[in-house]
Amino acid sequence: MKKNLIIAVLMVLFYNLGFADPAPKTKINIILKEQSNPVALSRDASWLPSKAARRDYVVKTLKSQAEASQQDLIALLNEMEQNGLVSEIRPLWIVNSISCYATQEALISLQDRLDIMTIYTCEPTPYLFDEPTSPAARGDGREIAENLLKVNANIVWEQGYRGQGVLVGLIDTGARLDHADLQGRLWDGGSEYPNHGYDFYSHDNDPSDTQGHGTHVAGTIVGTGFSGTQTGVAPDAEIMVLKVFHGEDNLTEPTMWVEAMQFAVEHGADVLNMSLGQPLPNTSVKLMARQACDNTLAAGVVAAVCAGNSRQIQMLAPVPYNIWSPGDCPPPHLHEDQLVNPGGTSCVICVGAVDFNDALSPTSSEGPSLWTDVAQYNDYPYSSGSSTTIGLIRPDVCAPGVNIKSLDYNTTNGYCLKSGTSMATPCVAGTIALMLSKNPELTPDQIDEILERTAVPLSTHKSNDFGSGRIDALAAVNAIEFEAVGKSSAQQALVYPNPSTGDFTIQCEGMKRIEIYSMNGSVLKSINTESPVLQLHGLKNGTFLIKITTTDRVIMKKIVKL
């Protein structure tokens, strides 16, 4: 009794002397008002001679902007950290933002700063719905997984394209680094990143999978078949393992996977695979996701992103909020069916799931998405039943995602079956790797256009179930030979000067019609022409989309009138 009394007295003394537990902190993300202009970034970078040079320019520009604009705020946060008000300060440049843990007192003092656009809490939450898993037998050494055969990946290998020279950023739960089918296919991060990647949840160098999802996804991208079954669409590609989930509880939040995107862009990834997403994202999460995806596009990097598995829970996540973020962000290339309601672009190729009979997976999330709820974008308006305000069509393509055989993280040489759009997405990322092994200079908009134009159509138009259809890796790789989709829009059509303070010159062989759209989808001008050169007059200041219809193709370009 006497001992308990002494302890109670000591606790009171510690509290009165200021030794009590510090005030609780909440993780927040601070998005600054000063943000990049991805369209201007892309335009300025386009003058450089290679993808590598363009990426380097964009990365350096974004870093410089963030360093300059964050300087005062970082100094204040460092001072707050010394006083115990904030901790774990992590600045980002792919989006000009800073995350940290902050007390309520710190939050109140930050809210009135004029350099801050918004502050939101970002406590880790589950981003993955558990996909059913069942064991699968090891093959005989000649077996090729059925999803690879369905998209004709095996025939692409016979042409010599196996993903060689392509680095895929795997943003997921990590990977089983010692699985036999991943050996020789993991990124060499040197002495700084000795375990082939990084863990952005725990902030350490161990991206080992403790959940299984990432290992299965990795196997669909690069699984070599060493243990008996060929599971990798691009078996000679490499993966950079970027872990953004905590343990077995599937916890993550946007700053973690945005930081992983930033790392991948800076360290040379050619493709991102993001088999993740947040259901029902709030406007702050959508803003963060789209800014990251816009700047990733400016850097010339494309991302295969899952649509989500929410179709059967539309009571909780109704259209147009059924697609997970960042899958709800726009694609690099605007399909002609989208042009009735065009808007901005980003790096995201959104992926839905079908079975081996090309029937829609019952869980594959349903589009469209909209962006009128995010004031900084305010595009892709949606009205149910409208033929014009159709929102943003999601997904872009689909791929096999039901009972997919790939790597089992529970063993070093086993396989298992999983289902979901998470399993369809790496089939697309692997196909992109095959394309890039044939032509490393393909841009995100070219990749997206080729995938969509060569997909096996499963609906009359690009739809909110199947997108443009189920991908065909062989058709996509073969299409790189064709002038209509093998060259960039810049090579097919010249629009100059862009931006312009006056008139624009449009130069393109075989032109038949030119249509000018406002960013809200209204047709401003429609001009029929037989000339390869046309002068465009009379546009007011603003950003516009030009649809150029020729004898054999449709080309979309964005122009800016100053």
The yes or no reply on domain 126-486 and CATH 3.40.50.200 is yes
What is residue 345's predicted lDDT score, i.e. its pLDDT? 94
What is residue 144's predicted lDDT score, i.e. its pLDDT? 98
What class does CATH assign to 489-561?
A: mainly beta
Instruction: Find out whether 394 and 464 touch, Cβ atoms under 8 Å.
Output: yes
User: Which residues lie closer than 8 Å to 77 by C-beta, 6 or more apart?
Assistant: 86, 89, 98, 100
- Quick: pLDDT tens for 71-90: 999 999 999 999 999 999 99
For 130-150, what is the mean pLDDT? 92
What is residue 7's predicted lDDT score, i.e. its pLDDT? 39
> 114-128, 214-228, 400-414, 442-456: which range is least confident on average?
114-128
pLDDT above 90: residue 543: no
pLDDT above 60: residue 195: yes
For 360-381, what is the mean pLDDT? 97
pLDDT above 70: residue 520: no
For 228-235, what is the mean pLDDT? 98
Instruction: Tell me the domain boundaries of the chain.
Output: 18-123, 126-486, 489-561
What is residue 8's predicted lDDT score, i.e. its pLDDT? 41
pLDDT above 60: residue 484: no
Identify which of 299, 331, 344 has the alpha carbon closest to the alpha carbon of residue 95.
299
| Residues facing 470 on adjacent strands | 398, 456
pLDDT above 80: residue 485: no
Q: Say what percent of the chain tops pLDDT 70.
A: 93
Sheet with 533-536, side-by-side order of all strands: 494-496, 504-507, 533-536
For 255-284, what is the mean pLDDT? 97
pLDDT above 80: residue 201: yes
What's the mean per-residue pLDDT of the chain? 91
The structure tokens listed for 479 are 């299409």
| pLDDT tier at 493, thresholds 50, 70, 90 | confident
What is residue 453's predicted lDDT score, i.e. its pLDDT? 95
Q: Say what percent of the chain tops pLDDT 90.
A: 76
Dihedral (Cα; 294, 295, 297, 302), 10-degree rounding:
-100
| pLDDT tier at 360, thresholds 50, 70, 90 | very high
- Quick: pLDDT tens for 424-483: 999 999 999 999 999 999 999 999 999 999 999 999 999 999 999 999 999 999 999 744
- CA distance readout (Å), 516 to 86, 136, 523, 555: 50, 54, 6, 12
For 256-278, what is the mean pLDDT? 97
What is residue 2's predicted lDDT score, i.e. its pLDDT? 40
pTM summary value:
0.87
- Quick: pLDDT tens for 30-75: 999 999 999 889 888 888 888 999 999 999 999 999 999 999 999 9
DSSP 65: H
How far is 343 from 209, CA to CA, in rounded Å? Answer: 38
What is residue 544's predicted lDDT score, i.e. its pLDDT? 83
Instruction: Find out whether 421 and 279 touch, Cβ atoms under 8 Å.
Output: no
